[in-house]
Amino acid sequence: MPGDNGNTRRFGARGELLVAIQFALMLGFVLLPVWHPGLGADAMDASGGWRSWLAAPFAVVALILGGFGSVHIRDYLTPLPYPVDHSQLVQHGVYAIVRHPLYASLLFAGAAWTLYHLSLSHLLGLAVAFAFFNYKAGKEEAWLTQRHPEYADYARRVKKLIPWVY
């Protein structure tokens, strides 16, 4: 394996299990049934307009973070949280407002879906996803700090998952 000086890394050492869990969570979120107790079908039909307006900003933020996050990190993009050997620390564009815009984009998309459907089951799924991405980002940040000592200063200046908030 390039960059490991001839040593064989064990499975999971670069976050392979985290990627598998992420895909399982994403699939689980999509397959969750919409559950909004107390709101009948008539109430949901009548609220479609304002629910769209409520969810739309979250969907737009998801698209912006995911799109620009992918563009700015395109040379180092990998499904694994472990940084590629040739990585450079990206601190411009959306990475200047949030350290993990790709994870954040998934959370904002999940929030848009949850708000549009007013689904308590998806709200719970979103909370689980937030906890997972917070954990995964922490693992990734430990590796990034080893690779890029200046990452610690970057982490002090820029929020982790929610721009300007957290």
- Please answer whether residues 103 and 130 qualify as being in contact, where contact means their C-beta atoms are separated by less than 8 angstroms: no
Computed over every residue of the chain, the mean pLDDT equals: 89
Would the CA dihedral through 146, 144, 155, 138 be positive or negative? negative
- pLDDT at position 111, please? 98
DSSP state of 29: H
pLDDT tens digits, one per residue of 118-159: 999 999 999 999 999 999 999 999 999 999 999 999 999 999
Token digits of residue 118 = 């007013």
DSSP state of 75: G
- pLDDT at position 1, please? 41
Would the CA dihedral through 91, 93, 95, 96 be positive or negative? positive
Token digits of residue 56 = 């739309």
Share of the chain above pLDDT 70, in %: 87
| 16-31 vs 120-147: helix crossing angle, rounded to 10 | 160
- pLDDT at position 71, please? 95
Identity of the amino acid at 95: Y
Identity of the amino acid at 50: W
Its pTM stands at 0.86
> Which of 35-44, 52-61, 94-103, 132-141 has the lowest average pLDDT?
35-44
Identity of the amino acid at 133: F
- pLDDT at position 44, please? 61
pLDDT tens digits, one per residue of 7-26: 456 766 778 899 999 999 99
Q: What is the mean pLDDT of residues 29-43?
A: 80
> Which of 16-20, 49-53, 98-102 has the lowest average pLDDT?
49-53
DSSP state of 84: P
